[in-house]
Amino acid sequence: MIKLSRPNITKEAMQEVCKVLESGMLVQGEKVLEFETELKKYINVDYVSAVSSGTAALHLALEALEIGQGDAVLVPDFTFVATANVVEIQKARTVLVDVDTTTYNMCPDKLEEKIVNYNFEEQLKAIIVVHEFGAPADMSRIMAIAKKYNLYVIEDAACALGAYHNNQHVGTFGDIGCFSFHPRKSITTGEGGALITNNKKLASKIELLRNHGLKRDENGLIDVVMPGYNYRMTDFQAAMGINQLVEFNENILKRKELVEEYFKQLSGFKEIILPKNINEHAWQTFMVILNTEINRDSVIKLLKVNLIETTVGAQALHLLTYYASKYSYVSNDYPVSKVLFQQGLALPLHPLLNLDDIHEIARIMKKLF
Ligand SMILES: *Cc1c(COP(=O)(O)O)cnc(C)c1O
């Protein structure tokens, strides 16, 4: 079977994890600090807080910016549900924005149109920009819009470690950036995530919120300055993360090489629309769009029979039961996102694949249509 995705856990990583287990010091400690320091260097940002998942990171971002009841947040319609779920959990209003056909990211024109025409009671406070599948969103335009309308920006860079916009790492443009280290992402700690910011005040608030709101005074006495969560990462997870970062640049190059081969093999093939080939893309996922006459779900089944594992890309939020019924969406409210949701096909992509695998996938796909 050619697998869709496969975490690459080296022997060294396993040894590092074992060392932490043997030490008996399991929860957040030295290794988490070391992982944060390495991420800080890699991304070039002032503050990094590792947490228990990408969803925890997004939740803390909203908490740190004090977004809650009475507020509204702009979110792209095509994303993983966690991006919007955290807005709902904070009792704020989710305002969906359609995406672009070839980058799959929030469309800046549609974003501004939504802001201009917004007429609900809740106050627009923030934009959550998603760098979908590792494709950098157009942060120059989005930051200009955010500034014009005085909105916070949270970057959901869950899939986008290693992605840049104009040579600047994604996640560093807005107020807070969020990452995920779930096994489907480009580096993994099992479950895990991180928040990044260049704002000192936000950084210290995030530190408090991830650990019960606890603060120690100079005598080591514990005090609680705000109610917080336990969203800490463990030290053995961080040990995995540190190890994966070492090979990360090499792995991205490998992903880019495989993607170039996909472009070569699948271009000019009229049943398939390819994504935009962006230079600073991190290629966490390679998703193509099948023509509307093709039944995507049966293609997934047929590819599986041919020992190729594929899957859907992300969800169109307005078509999911909770969002559709709460906000009374109708099926064509977000036409681009709807097509991506119904016709998107994520093809195998991970650093353990080789060019022959890509040739085989292209050969089988051409045979199927
Ligand atoms: C994976 C993902 C998340 C959630 O991350 P977890 O670590 O699984 O909680 C959020 N947003 C996007 C865009 C994702 O792809």
Instruction: Say what the pLDDT of residue 369 is.
Output: 83
Confidence at 156, pLDDT banded by 50, 70, 90? very high
Q: How far, in Å, from the CA of 223 to the mean position of ligand 1?
A: 32
Pocket residue to mutate for ligand 1, from 62, 85, 155, 180, most atoms within 8 A of Cβ: 180
The total number of residues shown for the chain amounts to 369
Q: What is the mean pLDDT of the chain?
A: 97
Pocket residue to mutate for ligand 1, from 85, 132, 159, most atoms within 8 A of Cβ: 159
Q: How far, in Å, from the CA of 192 to the mean position of ligand 1?
A: 10
> Residue 86 has which token pair?
């955290």
Coil, strand, or helix at residue 202?
A: helix
Residue 159 Cβ contacting ligand 1 at under 6 Å? yes
> With 90 as the cut, is the pLDDT of residue 137 above it?
yes
Same fold, 11-246 and 249-368: no
Q: How far, in Å, from the CA of 28 to the mean position of ligand 1?
A: 21
Distance of CA 309 to the CA centre of its chain: 21
Confidence at 290, pLDDT banded by 50, 70, 90? very high
Which residues does 62 contact at the CB level (< 8 Å), separation at least 6? 68, 73, 86, 87, 90, 92, 126, 154
Cα separation of the two ends of the chain? 21
Residue 97 Cβ contacting ligand 1 at under 6 Å? no
Q: How far, in Å, from the CA of 86 to the mean position of ligand 1?
A: 11
Give 224-273 pLDDT, tens digit per residue. Answer: 999 999 999 999 999 999 999 999 999 999 999 999 999 999 998 999 99
Radius of gyration of the chain (CA): 21
Average pLDDT rounded to a whole number, residues 186-197: 97
How far is residue 66's CA from residue 29's CA, in Å, rounded to a whole number? Answer: 27
Which fold, 11-246? Aspartate Aminotransferase; domain 2 (3.40.640)
Map out the domains of the chain as residue ranges. 11-246, 249-368
**CATH fit for domain 249-368, picks 3.40.50.720, 3.40.50.2000, 3.40.50.1980, 3.90.1150.10:** 3.90.1150.10
Tokens 């053995």, residue?
A: 236
Instruction: Say what the pLDDT of residue 317 is.
Output: 97
Q: How far, in Å, from the CA of 313 to the mean position of ligand 1?
A: 13
How far is residue 69's CA from residue 122's CA, in Å, rounded to a whole number? Answer: 8
Neighbours of 351 (CB within 10 A): 19
Per-residue DSSP letters for 238-285?
HHHHHHHHHTHHHHHHHHHHHHHHHHHHHTT-TTEEPPP--TT---S-
